[in-house]
Amino acid sequence: MSLLAVAPALPLHTAGKYVAGAYIVFLAIVLIYVGIMASRLSRTERELIELRRDVEAQRSAQDSEPEREPVA
């Protein structure tokens, strides 16, 4: 505890900056994470839309050629 003795309590206006800094860092990390997740969500969404479009395209192709054996 010796080091603490030589580290006096900072006055509020100086300490405030550091405390704010620490909490902003925490908030920023969470927000950056949420942002990355949002971009990933939109990518998944896009993939789903593509999949839906491809499946429907395949359906209509099969409907127009009813005699053909289904592949795969």
Partner 1 sequence: MTTYGRGLRGLSLAAAATMTVALVLTFFYAPLDANQGFIQKIFYIHVPLAITALCGFVFGGVLGAVYLRTGDRKWDIRSYVAIHMALIFGIGTLLTGTIWAKASWGHWWVWSDPTLTSFLIVMLLFATYQPLRFSIEDPERQSRYASVFAVVAGAFVPLNFIAVRAAQAYVHPRVLTLTGGNLPGSMRLTFLVALAGVALLYVTLWKYEMAAKSTRMQVRALRRALLGEDSVVPLKRSAAPS
Smaller CB distance to partner 1: residue 7 or 68?
7
Exposed (0-12), middle (13-18) or buried (19+): which is 72, by Cβ within 10 Å? exposed
Q: Does 23 bind partner 1 (CB under 8 A)?
A: yes
CB of 2 to partner 1, least distance (A): 7
Please report, as ranges, the residues that interact with partner 1 according to CB under 8 A. Answer: 1-4, 7, 9-12, 14-16, 18-19, 21-23, 25-26, 29-30, 33, 37, 40-41, 44, 47-48, 51, 54-55, 58, 71-72
